[in-house]
Amino acid sequence: MKASRLFLFAVTAVVLLSSCTKEFYFDNQPDGKSSGRTSDKGGITMSHYDVTVGTGDWQLGTDEEGGNYLFASIPVTAIDAQVVRDGMVTVSRGYTDDEGYTVWTPLPMVRAQALNYGTNEEFLYSEYLDFEWSEGFVFIYFTATDLFVDDDPEYWPEFSLRVTVWR
């Protein structure tokens, strides 16, 4: 009798403590550049979209003091009013290391550079990559600490980014 009660308690505990997870994949994003993956765990849904911001995606901006920066606007339809009200958006930069592994760094990030790409002349400065988001969009900003960005798009950077939307 005690064994059957213990067995029933064990089965009930396993059923109650186990969780179900649904995941699905999709590729048709309106911007034509991103693909996503969604996972629903315990009422929180997380979707991520891999996007490349290339030289043609940037716009050149100028601040009040005359310093230059780059900005890009990424449409993300998954950022709706519910996400703005109750959710969260994060962005990470991805790159492939020397051994072929993809490494993700969350934004904002700062990297020290020691090369002028136009002249191959060495000098030290830092690059700052950050983001903002609002309903339907993520805005990416690229600023060099010397506040100079070449106005020739040929020298503008390209980044692989992962936008993650939590609802």
pLDDT mean for each 10 residues of the chain (167 residues): 50 42 40 52 81 93 84 95 94 89 91 70 78 97 77 85 94
Q: How many domains does the chain have?
A: 1
On whether residue 99 sits in a domain, the answer given is yes
On whether residue 108 sits in a domain, the answer given is yes
On whether residue 92 sits in a domain, the answer given is yes
On whether residue 5 sits in a domain, the answer given is no
With the C-alpha atoms ordered 154, 157, 159, 164, is the resulting torsion angle positive or negative?
negative
Confidence at residue 79, expressed as pLDDT on a 0 to 100 scale: 96
On whether residue 4 sits in a domain, the answer given is no
Backbone angles phi, psi at 35, to 5 degrees: -125, 155
On whether residue 122 sits in a domain, the answer given is yes
On whether residue 9 sits in a domain, the answer given is no
Confidence at residue 38, expressed as pLDDT on a 0 to 100 scale: 57
Residue 107 half-sphere exposure, CB side, CA atoms within 13 Å?
Answer: 24
On whether residue 7 sits in a domain, the answer given is no
Confidence at residue 29, expressed as pLDDT on a 0 to 100 scale: 44
Confidence at residue 96, expressed as pLDDT on a 0 to 100 scale: 85
Q: Which residues pair with 131 in a beta bridge?
A: 140
Confidence at residue 64, expressed as pLDDT on a 0 to 100 scale: 82
**Domain range for residue 111?**
20-166
